């Protein structure tokens, strides 16, 4: 269930809201005059969501490429080169 707080709590309980966001890894929805106004979240959660958005964009581009007939790399060859790169640096 989402955590909803009035905007006055940003002034009066900012530390509590900050601690909640970090501890629960959940956003807090802020209302103004009973209407949704903004969302407060930890930087960690924000960065994770942004990384997911970028991943979804890349997947969408790849799917569009496949639909347009583009050829990709063979997975076994690609995975082998990744393993060689990783094992070569460890």
| pLDDT tens-place string over residues 8-19 | 999 999 999 999
Fold of 3-41: YefM-like fold (3.40.1620)
Euclidean distance between CA atoms 44 and 89, whole angstroms: 28
Q: What is the pLDDT along the chain (90 residues), one digit of tens a residue?
A: 899 999 999 999 999 999 999 999 999 999 999 999 999 999 999 999 999 999 999 999 999 999 999 888 888 998 888 888 887 654
Q: Domain ranges for the chain, please list them.
A: 3-41, 45-89
CA atoms within 13 A on the CB side of 44: 9
pTM above 0.85, yes or no: no
pLDDT at residue 88, as a whole number: 65
């Amino acid at each position: 269930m989402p955590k909803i707080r009035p905007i006055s709590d940003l002034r009066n309980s900012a530390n509590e809201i900050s601690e909640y966001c970090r501890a629960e890894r959940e956003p807090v929805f802020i209302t103004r005059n009973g209407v949704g106004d903004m969302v407060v979240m930890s930087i960690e959660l924000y960065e994770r969501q942004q990384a997911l958005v970028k991943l979804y964009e890349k997947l969408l581009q790849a799917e569009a490429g496949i639909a347009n007939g583009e050829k990709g790399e063979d997975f076994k060859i690609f995975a082998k080169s990744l393993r060689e790169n990783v094992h070569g640096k460890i």
